[in-house]
Structure 1
Amino acid sequence: MGLVLIAALFLGYALVSRRLEHSSLTGPMVFTAAGVLGALVMVWTGTSFDTLALDVRNDAIQILLEMTLVIILFSDAVLIDARAIRKEAFLPGRLLGIGLPLTIIVGTLIAMIIVPDLGFWPAAVVAVILAPTDAALGQAVVSNDRVPGLVRQGLGVESGLNDGIAVPFLAIAVAGAANEMQSGAEIARVFLEEIGLAIVIGLVVGWLGALAVRYAYEHGWMTRGWKQVSVVTLAVLCFALADPVGGSGFIAAFVGGLVFGAKVRHEYPDICDFSEGVAHVMTMFAFFVFGAFILAPALDVVTWQIVLYAILSLTIVRMIPVALSLIGTGLAGPTQLYIGWFGPRGLASLVFMGTVVVGANADEAAGILAVGATTVGLSVLLHGLSAWPASARYADWYEGTTARVDVSELPEEQQVEHIPNLKLQGRLRDPG
């Protein structure tokens, strides 16, 4: 019966997906709510929250979350024109190079203040888990054409890259929490392993994969459908090769996608069609799993301190670092506020939570899940509800401003040629 209801949920959402496209009711909201409701029904029928909570540590659930993120990262990277992004890296460069580390620092300090017993390294683990953003939770934020291209590009690129960049920080925080981080040399070693090995593996797999796909397709060995399937298989291959040797499978997947895309994107513009569909379904199912097995059990142990931290994580923990990273840019206050608010927490945070919980004891796991689940749950709700109204209001302000002043004086008017829909291509975009 459970499988019937899940299938019916997906079919029902598919039937009204176009109608919901410009509403405040997003896919993550629908599937998270359905998961919570399903968990409550299980409880009413005699299944305890304790039983549900144990399931999040199941390998199958963790593999689902990891593979979903891996496929999305690889597919996103295939669609990126890295050369264009390098030329136009003004905003995402600041958000990633300054804003992300500051977000981790501020998040750690606030976690230690609100929960003094947490300690530095466990607080850092929570802060890193909640540092990556997921623009897909508020589609209108980066898809509304009335919003300046510079802003949409900055948020989109930040969302696509920050989960991979956060992986080494997570490894260091987890090692520190386990008393395995003794010196600066250890920190440097973790960075080199996580990033260096991942980059090498991603480069090799992406390059060889592109050569193999092009050769096979051009010689009539490969069908169009299997050409598209290769994106999924190469994404998983990057992860599977990097993870066992100590490299970040997520960074490897993203680097592999960049290299693969540079070789095949222009010749085969439909190369990601299959992976987009797969990622779309897997992402919605991941949010259903989040609602049922992570958020619902967490609701039973949430305290006012956890709720307070979740609210602060979505506001000042994000907004202060963003404001500091944008000093000297000349971007207007409303623009900085728009960028600061729209840093939703989504799939990457779920994957990071699962990664940490698998190796943690029961008490540590419960605390991490409670904080992470509450924050992501609030983000799904608040960023989903505010995406269209806030983007429309910001666009109204911007259009009014451009009508009153010389647009050449506005940094927001900087022209950008490449605005990738990172993390949206396979999840929220209507391909029809």
Structure 2
Amino acid sequence: MSALLLSFAVLLLIGMLISERASRTVLSTAVLFLLGGFVLGGGVLGVVPISSGDPVVATLAELALFSVLFTDGMKVGFTDLRVAWRLPGRALLLGLPLTLVLTAVLAHFAVGLPWLESFLLGAVLAPTDPVFASAIVGREEVPAKLRHLLNVESGVNDGLALPIVLVLLAAAGGTEAGGWQLAEEIVLGVLVGVLVPLIVLRLERLPFLQAQHNLQPLLTVSIGLLVLAICTATHANLFLGAFAAGITVATYGPGFREEFEQFGELLTELLKLAAILVFGALITPAFLFQEIPWTGWVFAVLALVAARPLALLVSFLGSGLPRSQQIAAMWFGPKGFASVVYGLLVLESGISQADQLFHLIALVIFLSILAHSSTDVVVAKKLDQRQPLL
């Protein structure tokens, strides 16, 4: 644990010192932590000898995904969705299912996976995470319409894909919960995620219970921790609870969302980078070049360059979105942190194809972080920002 902490601290220091230059070049903090974990892991230097069964892996992944879904939910309150929903709606309601199906088809025919496992793989890899292409969503020269599309899509698709992953994983025999029990966990998670913030926000409006202004971010943190604790105690699905709680806070307490935004983003970023470091340490040279056949590499490349681009090409028909922005949106669908955690859920599920699925998931994410984090600045500089927000 001390070696992991020291490695994280050193990489974080290096990442922050080069962050200004990285924001203007193909350098990337995400790639730094991924490659850092790869080099420091058991397959190369052995400084951070972590295996998938270590408790720190599951705990860190769980906490990080909870934080990601909570902050993602706060980006997509109902009011935000009503303002400009057409393009994100196309990407979510048509592009996401099509990406899932196309990825499943590729997995079945390129790798030979059974159909159920192929669709599970498609569901795990369907969500996107523009944190790994931050120059696209964080630069003013990028058209606001495109930034809004990618931000809303990435904020919602993690939560939309999760129930599908859980249902398919249960169908494959990878969880003790099945049928009504699984439905109960999902519904209970959503209820906890909605009711807890509503109750806390209602209490905070009472004259004698108002939070001090400079402590309001901690009130939002307390809501998240309470949802986490209740979901854990009741066996409700804590990830859907986190997502529902974030949306509820954004909808009924927009002031708290604004106060929490910077603090929440920094906390989530720290947890993500730590999880990426651990994820990189799980990947060894043998993992990539001996344990994955050439058909797995073919699938991984096609999953990045064909599945999402074709799905969004269909989704954008008749949308009026400029072609350059369509191409940017089709390319910048990086496989991010949600896919990492969903992949770990599959690995620990015990299903017969778990190891093969995790290898394919890890390879796609590895290639995605390298490819998307290295091309975002180049593409951002070529985009025009004069397009109005729908």
Q: TM-score normalised to the size of structure 1?
A: 0.80
Match of 2:273 in 1: 284
Q: 1:63 aligns with which of 49, 59, 62?
A: 59
Residue 269 of structure 1 aligns to a residue whose secondary structure is helix
Q: 2:198 aligns with which of 207, 215, 222?
A: 207
Paired with 2:141 and 2:342, the residues of 1 have a C-alpha distance of: 34
Q: 1:329 aligns with which of 296, 319, 328?
A: 319
**Is this contact kept in 2: 1:35–1:290, CA < 8 A?**
yes
> Is 2:389 the counterpart of 1:415?
yes
Match of 2:367 in 1: 378
Match of 1:250 in 2: 239
Question: Following superposition of structure 1 onto structure 2, how do residues 30-179 of structure 1 map, counting pairs within 5 Å?
Answer: 30-39=32-41, 43=44, 52=50, 55-116=51-112, 118-178=113-173
Residue 315 of structure 1 aligns to a residue whose secondary structure is helix
* CA separation of 1:93 and 1:248: change in aligned 2, threshold 3 A: farther
Match of 2:227 in 1: 238
Match of 1:409 in 2: none
Indicate the larger mover: 8-17 or 169-178. 8-17
* CA separation of 1:297 and 1:168: change in aligned 2, threshold 3 A: farther
**Is this contact kept in 1: 2:198–2:248, CA < 8 A?**
yes
Q: Which amino acid aligns with 1:5?
A: S
Residues 350-396 of structure 1 deviation map (CA, whole Å, 9 limit, x = unaligned): 110111111125x633212210111001011000111011122233x
**Is this contact kept in 2: 1:95–1:322, CA < 8 A?**
yes
* CA separation of 1:373 and 1:180: change in aligned 2, threshold 3 A: closer
Residues 195-232 of structure 1 deviation map (CA, whole Å, 9 limit, x = unaligned): 533332211011122234555xx647856665423333
Paired with 2:128 and 2:257, the residues of 1 have a C-alpha distance of: 29
Paired with 1:76 and 1:307, the residues of 2 have a C-alpha distance of: 31
* CA separation of 1:92 and 1:243: change in aligned 2, threshold 3 A: farther
Residues 309-359 of structure 1 deviation map (CA, whole Å, 9 limit, x = unaligned): 111111111111111112222334333221111100010001101111111
* CA separation of 1:126 and 1:224: change in aligned 2, threshold 3 A: same
Residues 22-63 of structure 1 deviation map (CA, whole Å, 9 limit, x = unaligned): 2221111010010001015x655699xxx74xx223333122
Paired with 1:18 and 1:321, the residues of 2 have a C-alpha distance of: 34
Match of 1:24 in 2: 26
Residue 333 of structure 2 aligns to a residue whose secondary structure is coil
Q: Which amino acid aligns with 1:12?
A: I
* CA separation of 1:204 and 1:20: change in aligned 2, threshold 3 A: same
Q: Which amino acid aligns with 1:211?
A: R
Match of 2:298 in 1: 308
**Is this contact kept in 2: 1:75–1:231, CA < 8 A?**
no
Match of 1:317 in 2: 307
> Is 2:171 the counterpart of 1:197?
no
Indicate the larger mover: 307-316 or 352-361. 352-361
Paired with 2:375 and 2:47, the residues of 1 have a C-alpha distance of: 36
Q: Which amino acid aligns with 2:155?
A: G
Match of 1:430 in 2: none
Q: Which amino acid aligns with 2:29?
A: G
* TM-fit CA distance, 1:180: 9.0
Residue 259 of structure 2 aligns to a residue whose secondary structure is coil
Match of 2:342 in 1: 352
Residue 248 of structure 2 aligns to a residue whose secondary structure is helix
**Is this contact kept in 1: 2:133–2:376, CA < 8 A?**
yes
Indicate the larger mover: 291-300 or 25-34. 291-300
Paired with 2:63 and 2:57, the residues of 1 have a C-alpha distance of: 10
* CA separation of 1:61 and 1:336: change in aligned 2, threshold 3 A: same
Q: Which amino acid aligns with 1:127?
A: G
Q: 1:393 aligns with which of 375, 382, 387?
A: 382
Q: Which amino acid aligns with 1:380?
A: I
Paired with 1:223 and 1:136, the residues of 2 have a C-alpha distance of: 31
Paired with 2:7 and 2:348, the residues of 1 have a C-alpha distance of: 29
Indicate the larger mover: 313-322 or 204-213. 204-213
Question: Following superposition of structure 1 onto structure 2, how do residues 360-375 of structure 1 map, counting pairs within 5 Å?
Answer: 360=350, 364-375=353-364
* CA separation of 1:343 and 1:44: change in aligned 2, threshold 3 A: closer
Q: Which amino acid aligns with 1:415?
A: L
Two-structure CA RMSD over aligned residues (Å): 2.9
Q: Which amino acid aligns with 2:173?
A: A
Q: Which amino acid aligns with 2:189?
A: A
Q: TM-score normalised to the size of structure 2?
A: 0.88
Indicate the larger mover: 26-35 or 194-203. 194-203
Q: How many residues align?
A: 386
Residues 405-429 of structure 1 deviation map (CA, whole Å, 9 limit, x = unaligned): xxxxxxxx4534xxxxxxxxxxxxx
* CA separation of 1:129 and 1:338: change in aligned 2, threshold 3 A: same
Residue 270 of structure 1 aligns to a residue whose secondary structure is helix
